[in-house]
Structure 1
Amino acid sequence: MLDRRARALLARPVDAITRAVDRPGITPDGLTLAGLGLGLASALAAGLQLWALALVLWLVSRVVDGVDGALARRRRADGRLSSESQAGGFLDITADFVVYGATVVGVAVGATAGFGAPWWPFLLVLLVYYVNGTAFLAFSSIAERTGRRIDDGRSLSFLGGLAEGTETIIVHALWLILPFWAWQIALVWVVVVGISATQRMVAGYRALR
């Protein structure tokens, strides 16, 4: 829901960071892997109840994740990167899924150990993530094959929904800021992501009919 506004709002700072890191030896895939490493480190820190460290690592990992695609587009525009290769897009979405899932597990471990939080709300989050991810990845694959691709500059065809990347970043940050309320936040998030998954399933089915 907020992704388009967030991209417009952050376009200038992301472009400035992209120009700063556009140096020999720094590649989009390298940034993706760096974001993956930082995200996994954030999940580990959450599991160890190092909440402030986990928050910093989480936010930095998401900044790096935003810059990798911008750097790839910049280099494609001036011919320094093949416009045919989609390997970077594949690596990026895979890393995102790994980081999102790991963060849920890390927060669940830390909140359970530190505040006696129940496990099941976090298991429900993973379930709705699975359903939501299945819906938009299946749509993207079929839309590409049938010539109905949604081109917004990203590697995949993203169907909009109530819960998008921006909301995910915010909610995961809230878990790390308010870990003593993590399971309650998780329950609300399950409802939001569940609605988003339903929206994507309906919209995707209608678009592909």
Structure 2
Amino acid sequence: MLDTAARQVLARPLADLARLVDHPRVSPNRLTLLGLATGLASAAAAAGHLWWWALALWWFSRAMDGLDGPLARRRRAAAHTPETGAGGFLDITADFTVYGATVVGVAIGATSQHGASWLPFMAVLLAYYVNGAAFLAFSSIAERTGRQRDDGRSLSFLGGLAEGTETIIVHSLWLAFPAHADVIATLWAAVVGVSAVQRIVAGARDLA
């Protein structure tokens, strides 16, 4: 829901930052992998009750995730080369891995330290799974049938109530307030569930 507005606000700062880090040793894929590594470290820190470390690592991970695309576009523009899709594939795979790992890490930390229930976190993972299946299936079929949505990203994204910006905010909240992580997860699972239904309906309508 907030992704379009967030991308408009952050486009210029990220482009400027991409210019600053544009060095031969810094590649978009290395930024993606750095975001993956720090995202997994955030999950491990949460599991070990190192909540503020987990939050800092989460933000750094998402900053790398936001920076790899602008750097890739800058490199392609300079070299006049087309997009291959390999970077986008790596990026979305890393995102799914980090999102899932963070849910598990928070669940381990919150249940062991604060006696939280596992059920809300399992519901979040299920909702993530359905959402991912819906938009990845749509992207693949839309590409094959010429009905893709082009917003500058590697895949055709179906909008919804829960998008990347909301995910960053909610994951930040349960890392900052782990004693209430299960309550946050319960509400988030409901929001992501609604978003999954939205994507299924929208995808079916677009492809009909």
Coarse TM-score class (shorter-chain normalised): over 0.9
Task: Structure 2 unaligned segments of length 5 or more: list them.
Answer: none
Q: Who is 2:76 aligned against?
A: 76
Q: Who is 1:166 aligned against?
A: 165
Answer with 124-133 or 10-19: which moved more. 10-19
**Which whole-Å CA distance do the structure 1 matches of 2:88 and 2:179 have between them?**
36
Q: Who is 1:30 aligned against?
A: 30
1:48-127 equivalences in 2 (<5 Å): 48-79=48-79, 82-127=81-126
CA-CA distance at 1:25 after TM superposition: 1.1
**Which whole-Å CA distance do the structure 2 matches of 1:79 and 1:41 have between them?**
34
CA-CA distance at 1:189 after TM superposition: 0.3
Q: Who is 2:146 aligned against?
A: 147
Kept after mapping to 1: 8 A contact 2:47/2:106: yes
**Which whole-Å CA distance do the structure 1 matches of 2:74 and 2:158 have between them?**
24
**Which whole-Å CA distance do the structure 2 matches of 1:25 and 1:137 have between them?**
32
TM-score by length of 1: 0.98
Q: Who is 1:2 aligned against?
A: 2
SS at match of 1:78: helix
**Which whole-Å CA distance do the structure 2 matches of 1:95 and 1:102 have between them?**
10
Which residue identity is paired with 2:35? G
CA-CA distance at 1:84 after TM superposition: 4.0
Q: Who is 2:42 aligned against?
A: 42
**Which whole-Å CA distance do the structure 1 matches of 2:20 and 2:43 have between them?**
28
CA-CA distance at 1:132 after TM superposition: 0.4
CA-CA distance at 1:47 after TM superposition: 0.2
Deviations 1:107-146 (Å, cap 9, x if unpaired)? Answer: 0000001100011110010000000000000000000000
Which consecutive segments of 4 or more residues in structure 1 shift more than 2 A?
Answer: none
Task: Structure 1 unaligned segments of length 5 or more: list them.
Answer: none
Answer with 16-25 or 58-67: which moved more. 16-25
The size of the alignment, in residue pairs, is 208
Q: Who is 1:156 aligned against?
A: 155
Deviations 1:162-198 (Å, cap 9, x if unpaired)? Answer: 0000000000000101100000000000110000000
Q: Who is 1:194 aligned against?
A: 193
**Which whole-Å CA distance do the structure 2 matches of 1:148 and 1:45 have between them?**
42
TM-score by length of 2: 0.98
Which residue identity is paired with 1:43? A
Give % identity.
Answer: 67
Deviations 1:19-57 (Å, cap 9, x if unpaired)? Answer: 111111111111000000000000000000000000000
**Which whole-Å CA distance do the structure 2 matches of 1:165 and 1:84 have between them?**
22
**Which whole-Å CA distance do the structure 1 matches of 2:180 and 2:83 have between them?**
45
